Amino acid sequence: MEIQAFFMAHSRVTGKLPAAKKDVEHILVALMDLAPISLAAIYCACSDHALVGLLLDLKIEELFIGTELEKRLADKRIGAVLILAPFFEGSKPTENWLTKELEVDKIKAHGKDRAVEDHDVRYDSVTRALELAAKLGPPQHDPGPLPPFPLDLRPAEQSFWNVGLAKVWRKGHETLRKGLIPVLSGDAEHIPEQVRNYRREEWRKIRRRKSILEGTDEFPTEGADAWRANWDWSENAATSATTMIPGTDHVQR
């Protein structure tokens, strides 16, 4: 509604309709930068004061929505980071602010993967966190059709509302359900622990692979013989790798 109202006020003041994508982008940028003095100028230039009043109400409402959103995200640190992440285009996902907030700055190469750089381990962990965020389940909700605009529209204004903004309405609800609602529900706050569990499982896989390659995977881990297993590894490995060729005095390795 805010975009539509500003589009209508702008076109009625200037007498121009956006003819290209860049014209629409100009309107969006001007709307975001709309200051009280700009609203006052529109009020003086536009004869439809009800339209300017609606635009003013929407700008005030925007401030309240922003404050309420900030309040609801105050105890959802991870979710807030994930909402902000798309605004840092061009930034590496392993920059300090993201690795710290996702709690992967403390993850270091561990055990048998010490050959891997800590930076690579953290990068992999951040990537995993973003993958988990992308899989957050959106609640099922059909927003229905775009509601009618509360003021009378001219033909060109009807087209802008019923075609262009109707598409934005549907897409916006998809983004809202997938991105914001799960975050506000607190689902995203479990991501750091899920990443740590993923890292632990990776380390367990590395240990299992190493023991299989070294032939120690069947060594006893409990009981009286457990303490001797690694001590006698070379002898046990040599014995298990050596067999007699039947009917001869030769051994086969």
CA–CA–CA angle 169, 178, 134 (5° rounding): 135
Let me know whether 2 and 89 are in one domain. Answer: no
pLDDT value of position 251: 46
pLDDT value of position 241: 47
Residue type (1 letter), 253: R
Residue listed under structure tokens 């800590």: 118
Which domain, by its residues, includes 59? 1-72
Look at residues 210, 206, 202, 183 and name the one whose alpha carbon lies nearest to residue 128: 202
What is the number of other CB atoms lying within 10 angstroms of the CB of residue 107? 19
User: 20 and 48 in contact (C-beta within 8 Å)?
Assistant: no
Per-residue model confidence as pLDDT tens digits over 122-143: 778 888 887 887 787 766 667 7
pLDDT band at 223 (very low <50, low <70, confident <90, very high): low
User: 113 and 99 in contact (C-beta within 8 Å)?
Assistant: no
Look at residues 179, 175, 177 and name the one whose alpha carbon lies nearest to residue 141: 177
Tell me the Cα Rg of the chain.
31
Let me know whether 150 and 98 are in one domain. Answer: yes
The mean-pLDDT minimum among 13-22, 143-152, 230-239 falls in 230-239
Let me know whether 53 and 122 are in one domain. Answer: no
Q: Rounded CA gap, 199 and 237, in Å?
A: 30
Domain boundary among 72, 90, 121: 72
Q: Rounded CA gap, 224 and 121, in Å?
A: 38
Let me know whether 120 and 187 are in one domain. Answer: yes
Let me know whether 107 and 210 are in one domain. Answer: yes
Let me know whether 113 and 222 are in one domain. Answer: no
- The token pair at 73 is 């995200």
Let me know whether 83 and 181 are in one domain. Answer: yes
Let me know whether 37 and 53 are in one domain. Answer: yes
**C-alpha pair distances (Å), 144 with each of 141, 162, 173, 187:** 9, 13, 10, 25
Strands (E), the chain: 243-244, 251-252
Let me know whether 158 and 193 are in one domain. Answer: yes
Let me know whether 193 and 92 are in one domain. Answer: yes
- The token pair at 193 is 């622990």
Domain boundary among 19, 52, 72: 72
In this structure, what DSSP letter does residue 163 have? I
Per-residue model confidence as pLDDT tens digits over 157-185: 999 999 989 988 888 887 777 778 888 88
| Between residues 174 and 250, the one the model is more confident about | 174
Per-residue model confidence as pLDDT tens digits over 18-31: 878 888 888 889 89
Domain boundary among 27, 49, 72: 72
pTM of the model: 0.61
Overall number of domains in the chain: 3
Let me know whether 208 and 247 are in one domain. Answer: no
Q: Rounded CA gap, 135 and 154, in Å?
A: 42
Q: Rounded CA gap, 41 and 5, in Å?
A: 15
Let me know whether 101 and 19 are in one domain. Answer: no
Give the burial class of 176: count Cβ atoms within 10 A of its Cβ; 0-12 exposed, 13-18 middle, 19 or more buried.
middle
What is the number of other CB atoms lying within 10 angstroms of the CB of residue 22? 9
pLDDT band at 4 (very low <50, low <70, confident <90, very high): very high
pLDDT value of position 99: 73
